[in-house]
Amino acid sequence: MDRDRDTATTAAIPPDATAPAVFAVMPTGESLDAAIKELETAGFDRAELSLPEIDPPPDRATPEAGAKEPDTDVEAQQARVMHSGVGGAAAAMIAATAAAATGGAAAVVAGAAIGSGLAVGAAANAISRAFSNEEQADRDRKIAAGKLVLSVRAPTPDRQTRARDILRAAGAIRVW
């Protein structure tokens, strides 16, 4: 059997005649992160990368086979920080506006609103962390099942060859 071809895995991914793609099964989250980093360094745009789902359940079946944007662990952490920062900052701005509008009379209310801002920031962080944890659990299930697939849109033969080389170097266990 060809190491780079597995009909059970490839049969579930629909061919895309308008944008040829290279697919690879990644064995670990680290190999996925390394592949994403190297592909971006080689000039592949993030929009050309996706994580198609092998045999998605009917509620997630889309023309792209349930494809998701690939994120690295660092990007997930940055998203959590951004969500908590934006939530807290919004509440603090509302408090500052209320204090300024009342000439300071609402300082106690503003203080409470700032405290609320911290709570909003913490809640936003918790929600973001829960979503990130679910994404990580999904990724771990796919790794264990050998179904963590990275797709790279590569319209020319040269780009297809470059993508295959990068994916193999990052540790892909099957490339097609």
| pLDDT, tens only, 152-161 | 999 999 999 9
DSSP bridge partners of 25: 149, 174
Q: Which helix H or strand E contains 152, and what residues bound it?
A: strand 149-153
State the average pLDDT over residues 3-16: 48
Locate 1 and state its tokens: 């059997």
DSSP bridge partners of 49: 152
> Beta strands of 30-73 (E only): which ranges?
49-50
Q: How far is CA 128 from CA 32, 33, 77, in A?
A: 21, 20, 9
Residue 99 has pLDDT above 70, yes or no: no
Q: How far is CA 41 from CA 5, 157, 162, in A?
A: 26, 19, 12
**Mean pLDDT computed over every residue of the chain:** 77
Would you say how long the chain is, in residues?
Answer: 176
Looking at the chain, the whole-number percentage of residues with pLDDT higher than 90 is: 39
- Tens digit of pLDDT for each residue in 27-47? 999 999 999 999 999 999 999
Predicted confidence at residue 138, as pLDDT, reads 87
Alpha carbon distance 74, 129 (integer Å): 13
Note whether 23 and 52 are within 8 A (CB): yes
Residue 1 has pLDDT above 60, yes or no: no
Name the more confident of 109 and 100: 100
Alpha carbon distance 34, 147 (integer Å): 17
Alpha carbon distance 118, 43 (integer Å): 40
Locate 30 and state its tokens: 């680290």
Q: How far is CA 133 from CA 109, 129, 130, 140, 149, in A?
A: 35, 6, 5, 10, 19
